[in-house]
Structure 1
Amino acid sequence: MNTHCSTDDIHAISATDPAGVGTAFREALAHFCSGVVIVTATDATGAPVGMTVGSFTSISMDPPLVGFFAGQNSTTLPHVIADGRFCVNVLSEDQHLLARTFARSGADKFAGTDWTPATNGSPRLAGAHAWIDCTLDQQQSIGDHDLVVGRVDALVVPQPNEPLVFHRSVFHGLRAHA
């Protein structure tokens, strides 16, 4: 049986239409599932800082590099860049409240949050699915975000649990099905 999708009822919005593209762009990208991480570092006083990131990716195996995008209006990003070291905390499926907390600006994100220093001094959040300790390798402005590339210094997978994912503006757990 052959099936096909008719485009008769689909209205394309041009990416050059500033009035319509914002909402349509967000809607289209909401259909892409992404993992959820919290990037942590320390500020100039040694206090922990962090932010939720959904645009994390592996970049290279040799040398081992990872990257993420952060909005240029982020108040945490300047601290990550200035510190030159950060920890990528890959969140577990039960850490959706932590993801929401670290997505907010201005709140004391570490209040009541258990963490220990990583090999580079950045906070490793308790209960994370994995930790990736990095040294800043590159930073580049692209559009309204900055690409941050980190050279991987250490990796830890502390427990065999499932990751947290984000799809259609909702956090989900990921379960394998045979």
Structure 2
Amino acid sequence: MTQPSIDSAQFRQVLGSYPTGVSVVTAMGADGQPIGMVVGTFTSVSLDPPLVGFLPDKKSSSWPQIEAAGHFCVNVLASDQQEVCKQVSAKGPEKFVGVEYEISQHNLPVIANSIARIECSIHSVVEAGDHWIVLGNVLGLEVTRDEDPMLFHRGRYGGFAELA
């Protein structure tokens, strides 16, 4: 079967119409410093066994470090954490300057005031075009704050509004 030719700009525009949650995937680097990357592709995968997934870009400089750590924490951001999102998404070694976090019992950075944390070990990594599909075995999880989630939609960050 021949792969249809899809314009990448149209692909981004159409898929950008689908809102996604915003999370920061963190791990502890070999040097004892936190590593992190912002993802909009986090999802629940399986209840039995409990698995979650996210899709880092193959060009990511943070993903190889997280993969080497062997385990990670998904920090679900609240709508009031845009500064945290901006800081961690920056390039370079200073992603965590000014970002408040604590180290969990699994030796993972947990971002303060995130609305949930999901700590995982890497289950598997599968190649998928210009991204990886990462599955994580859930080691522990917790809702840490009852707050509006941060959403990404049509190139902008925002929150959730309930219908009347």
Q: What's the TM-score once normalised by structure 1's chain length?
A: 0.87
Residue 16 of structure 1 is matched in structure 2 by: 5
Cα distance in 1 for residues equivalent to 2:113 and 2:91: 22
* Aligned residue in 2 for 1:172: 158
Determine the C-alpha separation between the residues in 1 that align with 2:104 and 2:163.
34
Unaligned runs of 5+ in 1: 1-13
- C-alpha offsets along residues 64-84 of structure 1, whole Å, 9 cap, x if unaligned? 000000001111101111101
- Superposed displacement of residue 25, structure 1: 0.9
Cα displacement (A) at 1:100: 2.1
Q: Give the letter aligned to residue 5 of structure 2.
A: T
Question: Within 2, Cα distance between the matches of 1:94 and 1:56?
Answer: 19
Q: 13, 17, 30: which is aligned to 2:16?
A: 30
One-letter amino acid of the counterpart of residue 173, structure 1: G
> Would you identify which runs of 4 or more consecutive aligned residues in structure 1 move more than 3 Å?
none
Q: 1:125 aligns with which of 106, 111, 125?
A: 111
Tell me, what secondary structure is at the counterpart of 1:71?
A: coil
Percent of residue pairs bearing the same amino acid type: 38
Q: Are the aligned partners of 1:87 and 1:118 in contact in 2 as well (CA < 8 Å)?
A: no
Q: Which residue of 1 aligns with 2:122?
A: 136
Deviation of 1:177 (Å): 2.9
Kindly name which structure, 1 or 2, has the bigger radius of gyration based on alpha carbons: 1
Offset at residue 175 of structure 1 (A)? 2.6
1:81-111 per-position Cα deviation (integer Å, ceiling 9, x unaligned): 1101100000001012221222222251100
Structure 2: stretches of 5+ with no match in the other structure: none
2:85 is aligned with 1:96: no
SS in 1 for 2:38: strand
Q: Which residue of 2 aligns with 1:113?
A: 99
Amino acid at match of 1:106: G
SS state of the match for residue 148, structure 2? coil
**Aligned equivalent of 2:72:** 86
User: For structure 1, which segment, 50-59 or 103-112, has the greater mean C-alpha deviation from structure 2 after superposition?
Assistant: 103-112
Query: Helix, strand or coil: the match of 2:94?
Result: coil
Structure-2 residue corresponding to 1:71: 57
* Alignment partner of 2:133 out of 130, 147, 167: 147
Corresponding residue for 2:146?
A: 160
Q: Distance in 2 between matches of 1:26 and 1:39?
A: 23
Matched residues, number:
162
Aligned amino acid, residue 45 of structure 1: D
- Aligned-residue RMSD, C-alpha: 1.4
Bigger shift: residues 94-103 or 71-80:
94-103
Q: Does the 8 Å contact 1:138/1:148 carry over to 2?
A: yes
